[in-house]
């Protein structure tokens, strides 16, 4: 199982990150390095066993559907500063810190993002389109008085990212219907009171084969193990400091570690068409370790 290691920037994704007030962090291209992790292979042996080629369900390559126009946002909802601008923001050079007040706002944004993602997951069923998921996510976010962060970020046309099967990230919702056996990552980011909350999860659609289930399970395990390693003491360059927030979001592929970008400029798919899964949480560094903010 191949592991795609996301950027080591403190913030990321859909490329609209969990960040603080008025701070935006570009994460494009998203790939910094990729490698096979032998430790993960060993950790997964207990549930893997012998895998035959027939275990992976054959599926047609992902095709794009029709992308509907962007959904409107009521005028009273505060928009991020990048909305209406063609270019994406530059990477912020400073480390962003939070005080007690801003942490309250971050937690509110992250809690909303978590609830929206949970609702979006209930919609994942065969014959449902990713455009329908986008509409539901959009409505729930604006009904809460927040702005869907992806919408208008560097020209991104929708309110959520939906990455199906071999799509690694930044899939644009469209008219394609989900198929029985698909897997889909839904990446939700909301902008509430000047703060972004960011989270994603890979969901199973209908009857999914064992190999795909294993990919999803191990990807989530990778995220949780990475979060458990976040604390003050570390031997690498830089350090984690109490009051920082950032996202942890591993992407794992069942095959190639290379990706191709569709001509829409966003959709990144595995070169060999192998399935990919992703999970993401926004975390806060505390005195004792890390607190997951994007939990319901």
Q: Tens digit of pLDDT for each residue in 156-178?
A: 999 999 999 999 999 999 999 99
Asked if 160 and 138 count as a contact pair (C-beta separation under 8 A), the reply is: yes
Q: In the chain, how many domains are there?
A: 1
Quick check: 294 pLDDT over 70? yes
Instruction: Report the range of poorest mean pLDDT among 45-54, 110-119, 132-141, 278-287.
Output: 45-54
107 in any annotated domain: yes
**In Å, what is the CA distance from 247 to each residue of 54, 208, 214?**
36, 28, 23
For residue 156, the SS3 value is coil
User: Average pLDDT of 111-115?
Assistant: 98
Rounded to an integer, what is the distance from CA 292 to the centroid of its chain?
15
Instruction: Spell out the residues 6+ positions from residue 244 whose beta carbon is closer than 8 angstroms to its own.
Output: 10, 95, 96, 97, 98, 284, 285
We report the CATH number of the domain holding residue 124 as: 3.90.230.10
Mean pLDDT of the chain: 83
71 in any annotated domain: no
Q: How confident is the model at residue 266 (pLDDT cuts 50, 70, 90)?
A: very high
Q: What is the pLDDT of residue 254?
A: 94
Asked if 144 and 110 count as a contact pair (C-beta separation under 8 A), the reply is: no
User: Average pLDDT of 231-241?
Assistant: 74
Q: How confident is the model at residue 236 (pLDDT cuts 50, 70, 90)?
A: low
User: Average pLDDT of 65-85?
Assistant: 96
Q: What is the pLDDT of residue 233?
A: 63
Quick check: 145 pLDDT over 50? yes
Q: What is the DSSP letter of 249?
A: -
155 in any annotated domain: yes
Query: Residue 144's domain spans which residues?
Result: 100-292
Asked if 178 and 161 count as a contact pair (C-beta separation under 8 A), the reply is: no
Taking only the tens place, the pLDDT of each residue in 177-202 is 999 999 999 999 999 999 999 999 99
Strands across the sheet containing 276-278: 31-35, 2-6, 251-253, 276-278
Quick check: 280 pLDDT over 80? yes
Q: Give the whole-number percent of the chain exceeding pLDDT 90.
A: 70
Cα radius of gyration rounded to whole Å, the chain: 18
Quick check: 5 pLDDT over 80? no
Quick check: 231 pLDDT over 60? yes
Q: How confident is the model at residue 23 (pLDDT cuts 50, 70, 90)?
A: very low
Consecutive H or E run containing 106: helix 100-122
């Amino acid at each position: 199982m191949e592991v795609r290691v996301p950027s080591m920037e403190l913030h990321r994704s859909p490329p609209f990150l969990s960040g603080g007030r008025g701070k935006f962090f570009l994460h494009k291209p998203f790939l910094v390095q990729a490698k096979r992790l032998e430790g993960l292979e060993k950790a997964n042996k207990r549930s893997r066993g012998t895998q035959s080629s027939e275990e992976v369900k054959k599926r047609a390559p992902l095709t794009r559907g029709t992308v509907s126009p962007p959904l409107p946002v009521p005028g009273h909802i505060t928009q991020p500063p990048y909305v209406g601008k063609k270019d994406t923001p530059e990477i912020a050079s400073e480390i962003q810190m939070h005080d007690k007040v801003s942490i309250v706002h971050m937690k509110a944004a992250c809690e909303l993002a978590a609830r929206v993602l949970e609702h979006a997951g209930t919609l994942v069923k065969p014959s449902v389109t990713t455009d329908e998921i986008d509409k539901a996510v959009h409505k729930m976010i604006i009904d809460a008085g927040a702005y869907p962060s992806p919408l208008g970020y560097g020209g991104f046309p929708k309110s959520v990212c939906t990455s199906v099967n071999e799509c690694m990230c930044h899939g644009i919702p469209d008219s394609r219907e989900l198929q029985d056996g698909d897997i889909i990552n839904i990446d939700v980011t909301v902008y509430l009171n000047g703060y972004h909350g960011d989270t994603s999860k890979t969901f199973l659609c209908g009857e999914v084969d064992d190999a795909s289930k294993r990919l999803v399970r191990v990807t989530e395990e990778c995220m949780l193990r990475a979060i458990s390693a976040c604390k003050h003491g570390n031997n690498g360059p830089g350090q984690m400091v109490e009051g920082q927030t950032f996202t942890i979001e591993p992407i794992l592929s069942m095959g190639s570690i290379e990706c191709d970008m569709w001509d829409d400029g966003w959709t990144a798919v595995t070169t060999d068409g192998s399935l990919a899964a992703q999970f993401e949480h926004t975390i806060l560094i505390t005195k004792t370790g890390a607190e997951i903010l994007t939990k319901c």
